[in-house]
Structure 1
Amino acid sequence: MKELHNENAKILNDIIDAFGYPTIDKVGKEANEAAWLVIQHSIGQPQFMKKCAKLLEIAVSESKADSKSLAYLTDRIAVFEGKPQLNGTQFDWDENGNLSPNLFDELNKVNERRKSIGLNTLEEQTEILRRQVIDENQSPPKDFEKRKQEIEQWKKNVGWTK
């Protein structure tokens, strides 16, 4: 998967360099969403994700892309950089074996931002995702501390943190 995500990111980066960000007005809603998915999954390419976040921010300000896409992308970048997310879109297993939102800004502010872009509250989303985990028979990592250390090491190796 890593190779596929990196190859897709390289191809999309070349397209962006040649034609600009694939906004809805340029490529249509479906292709715009596909490009966003490529960006979301290019986790091994910090510079590319950050570049795309800036371009997506412009596109959203011009009503040429979905503000939810920007929320998810900026939160993902924040989580990888060890910063609080602003919209509470990124979740992971916690030390108690529950799926929980990664570090986030003040709850009231997060919920205001979520509401402004058409998302439910963070509490509602947490409940939905926890039910989904049960329905899909997902389970937390057996060794939480080991997984946490592996993630931190990966972030350093890829260049998200120092």
Structure 2
Amino acid sequence: MEYPHFAAQIINLKNKDLEFREKLIADKKLGEGYNTEMEKMHNQNAAFLNEIIEKIGYPTIDKVGSEAAEAAWLIIQHSISQPEFMKKCLKLLETAVSENKAAEINLAYLSDRIAVFENKPQLYGTQFDWDENGFLSPNVYDNLDKVNQRRKRIGLNTIEEQTEIMRKRAQNENQLPPKDFEKRKLEVEEWKKRAGWLI
């Protein structure tokens, strides 16, 4: 590991993020839109990680170790109000994966998340949201067979199996579907425009 100091900082950011998420779960507030305090934390974490990336490049396993590399990816995944930062990290992560310095699964999750925010079909079916029937379901993807083939190639289960897991997790975390599906859908689209995902 080249940068143990940065590794410790990245892991600390991730721990604070997850602790706050646990607090929201305990307070039964996780499913109530994008919490303002959480958004602020995600933005601060993204800014801090961006400073590290400017100094050392993408935080790969050889640079910061596997725990911090995974933590960096999580921070990037959660920086949803920062489209430019997420897209910059996607390119850096693509390069790192091509050099066998980062996990392809992380690239799949990040590219899917960006696709969903840009209202494009995801390729791996990793991103889920509530559907009009009140079930947690995968966001739009291109083709079920192709998605499952891609998932299998990088070591993921089928999208059907993952759907069951995600629904059980939502139940365990006291997450509930939105009371008004259409209203929430509009709010999400408005947020995407405000954040800069959509023009």
- Say whether the fold is shared (TM-score over 0.5): yes
Following the alignment from structure 1 to structure 2, what is the Cα–Cα distance between the partners of residues 132 and 150? 24
Q: Which consecutive aligned stretches of 4+ in structure 1 deviate over 3 angstroms post-superposition?
A: 134-137
CA RMSD of aligned residues (A): 0.9
CA shift in 2, pair 1:89/1:10, >3 Å: same
* TM-score, normalised by the number of residues in structure 1: 0.97
Per the alignment, residue 197 of structure 2 pairs with 160
Name the stretch that deviates more: 130-139 or 57-66: 130-139
- Say which SS state the counterpart of residue 129 (structure 2) adopts: strand
Is 1:129 paired with 2:162?
no
Calculate percent identity across the aligned residue pairs: 71
Q: What is the Cα deviation at residue 129 of structure 1?
A: 1.5
Residue deviations 1:56-93, cap 9 Å, x none?
01111111111111010000000000000000000000
Q: What is the Cα deviation at residue 132 of structure 1?
A: 2.7
Larger relative contact order (Cα-Cα within 8 Å, sequence gap ≥ 6): 2
- Say which SS state the counterpart of residue 110 (structure 1) adopts: helix
Select 2:156's aligned residue among 111, 114, 119. Answer: 119
Residue deviations 1:7-32, cap 9 Å, x none?
11111111111110000011100010
Per the alignment, residue 102 of structure 1 pairs with 139
* TM-score, normalised by the number of residues in structure 2: 0.79
| Equivalent residue runs for 1:8-157 within 5 Å | 8-157=45-194
Following the alignment from structure 1 to structure 2, what is the Cα–Cα distance between the partners of residues 11 and 138? 30
Gaps of 5+ in 2: 1-37
The number of residues matched between the two structures is 162
Gaps of 5+ in 1: none
Following the alignment from structure 2 to structure 1, what is the Cα–Cα distance between the partners of residues 87 and 180? 31
CA shift in 2, pair 1:10/1:135, >3 Å: closer
